[in-house]
Copies of this chain bind each other. A is one copy, B any other.
């Protein structure tokens, strides 16, 4: 009985979300319809390289959609959360609560 309680104590934390920058990106995208590279960079204070890599990972995982297009003549990369991304985020938050006793 005790063992059963124990086994549910610490759910594993999705490694894709358990990363400071990727979590920040998802956090922003959850609360907003879309956000472009420049905006995400400002908000997270990440370097371009790091942000580029982490966006790519979230995209590969299917947690966000990335659309590379143009704003006038300049390139513009726009990101949006996916259904899958939202679910993963919610699940991550629930799992994390087990660690924080929230």
Number of interface residues of A (CB under 8 A): 22
Q: Would you call B96 and A27 a contact (CB within 8 A)?
A: no
Per the bound structure, the CA–CA distance linking A6 and B18 in Å amounts to: 22
CB of A93 within 8 Å of the partner chain: yes
Out of B13, B20, B42, B44, which one reaches A13, CB within 8 Å? B20
Q: Would you call B20 and A12 a contact (CB within 8 A)?
A: yes
Q: What is the predominant secondary structure among interface residues of chain A facing chain B?
A: helix
CB of A35 within 8 Å of the partner chain: no
Q: Would you call B24 and A10 a contact (CB within 8 A)?
A: yes
**Do A23 and B99 contact each other (CB < 8 Å), given the known contacts A6-B42, A9-B43, A43-B6?**
yes
